[in-house]
C-alpha cells in the first residue's frame, strides 16, 4: 500500500462536488454510524467520500486505486454483511445521490444510487404507482436491486431487478456508461442480479405498476405450539393464490403494537400475512380459507396505505442493531422442513431474532431463467431467511449459533447450499457459486473480466473475473 500524501488528499477533496470525512475527523464516528446499519460491523473506512455525482464517483475510484486503498460502495448501508465498509479503505457513500423523479405517463421512475425505498415508494405513490422493493423501507434501492430484490410486490410484478429498465454505472476504469437492453446489454444483464461487481450504479430507471393507494392486510398469529399447523395450512393455500395476493410467513415475537392483545405482546410464535393488492373478494376468500384450516390465537385485518405496508416492519430492524443471517431456497415447504423450523424456533435467545419466509411464484416464476443474472431459480417457491437480530453482543453470539444450527438442519430439504446473495452475512464462495449455478456464474465471470479485470469491486458477493 502506498502512503497517501496530504497534498494528494487535498487535491482530491478540492475536485469533488461532494464531501470527505476521514478517520480522526470530529464527525467521523457519527457519519460512520449513519452509513452502516449492522452495529456488529467493526470495519472502519479510512475515508468516507460522500459523492454527489457520477464524476465524484469516477474521481473516487481513481483516487482509491492510485492510493492502493481498498474500495467499497455504500448504497443504503442496510446489509447484514457490512460489505459497504472496507476496513481502512475508501468508502464511496452514495447517500447524497437520492433524487427521485417519476414519469407517470411512461410509468417510469428514475432514482439516484443512494435512494432508500421509503423515498422511491413515496414519490411513486403520489401517482398511484410502485415498483417491487423489500419489506423494510430504510433499505437502499441499490444493493437490494442489484442482488435481486423481493418484497410485497414480487408475486404481482417480479423482482426489483426484473423491473430495471436502465442504469447509469461508473466502471472500474472511470467510464460513465448507460446500460439498457439496447446499450451495453451484457452489463445490463449482469447488474440485474450480479450485485455490485461491475461498477458503481449512480442511477436506476424502473418500470412502475399501478398500486394502492390502499391494500388489504390480514395478519394471523399462532403461539409456538400452533406453528406447524399454521405453516402447513399456509403452504396448502399457496397454489390457489392469485398473483395479486402476497403471502409472508414468519417465526417471531409478537410486537408490542396496539393491534396485538396485551397478553400476547412479545410472546414468541408464528405469523402469516396475506396482502391483497387487487380484488377484495379474492383476498377475503384466501383469508377465510386460512382461518378455517388453522384458527389463529389472534388476527388483525385492515385496509392499509401501500406506503404504510412498506414501512410496517421498519422498527423490527432498527439502525445500529446487531445482526447475522443465513438463508435457503426451498422448492417446497415440506412437512419435514416445517418440523425443522418448529424444533429450532423456540431456541432463539434474542426476542428480536426472527425467521421470515418469502413466498414467490406469480410474476417471479414467469420470468425466464436467463432474462437476468439473478442468482436463484424461477421455480423456487420459498426463500427462508434465519436472522439473528440482537441489542447485545451476548444475545447475538447465542443466536449466531442458533442460525447456523437451524440452517444446517434445513439444507437437506433445500435446493442445496446456494441462496439469495442479498441474504448472506458471510460471503462464502461455494454458496455464491451455487446460487448462480455454473452457467450463469461463467457468464458473469466473463463480463466481470471485461469491466473489472482487477476485481476492484470485491467487497460484495464476489464474482471472480474469468481468466483471460
Ligand atoms: C433488516 C433487513 C431486511 C431486509 N429485507 C429484505 C427484503 O425484504 N427483500 C430483499 O430483497 N432484501 C432484503 N434485505 C437485504 C438487502 O437487499 C441487502 O442487504 C442489500 O444489499 C441492501 O442494500 P443497501 O444498498 O441498503 O446496502 P449496502 O450495504 O449499501 O450495499 C450492499 C452491497 O451492494 C453493493 N452496492 C450498494 N449500492 C451500490 C451501488 N449504487 N452500485 C454498486 N454497488 C452497490 C455493494 O457491493 C455493497 O457492499 C434486507 C436486509 C436487512 C438488513
User: What is the dihedral angle through the alpha carbons of 339, 343, 344, 346, rounded to the nearest 10 degrees?
Assistant: 130
C-alpha 423, offset from chain centre: 7
Atom nearest to 389 CA in ligand 1 = 1
CATH topology (fold) of 100-210: 3.30.465
Prediction pTM value: 0.98
Task: Answer yes or no: are the C-beta atoms of 116 and 137 closer than 8 Å.
Answer: yes
State whether the beta carbon of 111 lies less than 6 angstroms from ligand 1. no
CATH topology (fold) of 6-93: 3.30.43
Chain region(s) in the chain for CATH 3.30.43.10: 6-93
Sequential pLDDT tens for the chain (468 residues):
457 888 899 999 999 999 999 999 999 999 999 999 999 999 999 999 999 999 999 999 999 999 999 999 999 999 999 999 999 999 999 999 999 999 999 999 999 999 999 999 999 999 999 999 999 999 999 999 999 999 999 999 999 999 999 999 999 999 999 999 999 999 999 999 999 999 999 999 999 999 999 999 999 999 999 999 999 999 999 999 999 999 999 999 999 999 999 999 999 999 999 999 999 999 999 999 999 999 999 999 999 999 999 999 999 999 999 999 999 999 999 999 999 999 999 999 999 999 999 999 999 999 999 999 999 999 999 999 999 999 999 999 999 999 999 999 999 999 999 999 999 999 999 999 999 999 999 999 999 999 999 999 999 999 999 996
Atom nearest to 113 CA in ligand 1 = 41
Atom nearest to 202 CA in ligand 1 = 41
What is the CA(142)–ligand 1 centre distance, in A? 7
Chain region(s) in the chain for CATH 3.40.462.20: 214-423
State whether the beta carbon of 135 lies less than 6 angstroms from ligand 1. yes
Options 3.40.50.150, 3.40.462.20, 3.40.50.10470, 3.90.209.20; CATH of 214-423: 3.40.462.20
Grid cell in block for residue 192:
440485474
Residue 249: DSSP 8-state: E
State whether the beta carbon of 138 lies less than 6 angstroms from ligand 1. no
State whether the beta carbon of 48 lies less than 6 angstroms from ligand 1. no
Amino acid at each position: 500500500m502506498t502512503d497517501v500524501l496530504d497534498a494528494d488528499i487535498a487535491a482530491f477533496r478540492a475536485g469533488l462536488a461532494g464531501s470527505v470525512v476521514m478517520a480522526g475527523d470530529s464527525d467521523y464516528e457519527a457519519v460512520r454510524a449513519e452509513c452502516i446499519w449492522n452495529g456488529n460491523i467493526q470495519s472502519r473506512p479510512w475515508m468516507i467520500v460522500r459523492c454527489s455525482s457520477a464524476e465524484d464517483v469516477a474521481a473516487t475510484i481513481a483516487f482509491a486505486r492510485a492510493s492502493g486503498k481498498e474500495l467499497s460502495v455504500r448504497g443504503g448501508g442496510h446489509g447484514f454483511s457490512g460489505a459497504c465498509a472496507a476496513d481502512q479503505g475508501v468508502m464511496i457513500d452514495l447517500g447524497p445521490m437520492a433524487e427521485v423523479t417519476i414519469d407517470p405517463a411512461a410509468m417510469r421512475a428514475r432514482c439516484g444510487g443512494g435512494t432508500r425505498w421509503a423515498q422511491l415508494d413515496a414519490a411513486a405513490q403520489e401517482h398511484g404507482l410502485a415498483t417491487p422493493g423489500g419489506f423494510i423501507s430504510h433499505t437502499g434501492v441499490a444493493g437490494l436491486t442489484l442482488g435481486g430484490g423481493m418484497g410485497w410486490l414480487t408475486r404481482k410484478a417480479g423482482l426489483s431487478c426484473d423491473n430495471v429498465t436502465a442504469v447509469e454505472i461508473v466502471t472500474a476504469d472511470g467510464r460513465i456508461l448507460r446500460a439498457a437492453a439496447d446499450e451495453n446489454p451484457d452489463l445490463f444483464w449482469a447488474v440485474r442480479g450480479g450485485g455490485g461487481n461491475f461498477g458503481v450504479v449512480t442511477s436506476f430507471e424502473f418500470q412502475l405498476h399501478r398500486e394502492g393507494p390502499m391494500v388489504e392486510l390480514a395478519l394471523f398469529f399462532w403461539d409456538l405450539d400452533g406453528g406447524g399447523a399454521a405453516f402447513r395450512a399456509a403452504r396448502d393455500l399457496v397454489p390457489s393464490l392469485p398473483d395479486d395476493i402476497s403471502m409472508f410467513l414468519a417465526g417471531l415475537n409478537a410486537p408490542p403494537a396496539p393491534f396485538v392483545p396485551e397478553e400476547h405482546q412479545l410472546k414468541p410464535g408464528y405469523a402469516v400475512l396475506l396482502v391483497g393488492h387487487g380484488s377484495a373478494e379474492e383476498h377475503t376468500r384466501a383469508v377465510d380459507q386460512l382461518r378455517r384450516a388453522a384458527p389463529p390465537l389472534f388476527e388483525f385485518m385492515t385496509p392499509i396505505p401501500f406506503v404504510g405496508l412498506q414501512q410496517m416492519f421498519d422498527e423490527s430492524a432498527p439502525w445500529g442493531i446487531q445482526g447475522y443471517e443465513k438463508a435457503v431456497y426451498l422448492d417446497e415447504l415440506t412437512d419435514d422442513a416445517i418440523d425443522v423450523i418448529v424444533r429450532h424456533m423456540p431456541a432463539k435467545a434474542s426476542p428480536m431474532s426472527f425467521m421470515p419466509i418469502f413466498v414467490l411464484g406469480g410474476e417471479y416464476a414467469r420470468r425466464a431463467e436467463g432474462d437476468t443474472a439473478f442468482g436463484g431459480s424461477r421455480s423456487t417457491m420459498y426463500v427462508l431467511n434465519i436472522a439473528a437480530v440482537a441489542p447485545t453482543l451476548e444475545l447475538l453470539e447465542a443466536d449466531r449459533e442458533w442460525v447456523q444450527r437451524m440452517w444446517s438442519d434445513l439444507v437437506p430439504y433445500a435446493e442445496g447450499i446456494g441462496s439469495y446473495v442479498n441474504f448472506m452475512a458471510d460471503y462464502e464462495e461455494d454458496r455464491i457459486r451455487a446460487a448462480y449455478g455454473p452457467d450463469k456464474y461463467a457468464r458473469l465471470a466473463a463480463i466481470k473480466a471485461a469491466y473489472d479485470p482487477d476485481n476492484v469491486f470485491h467487497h460484495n458477493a464476489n464474482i471472480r473475473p474469468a481468466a483471460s
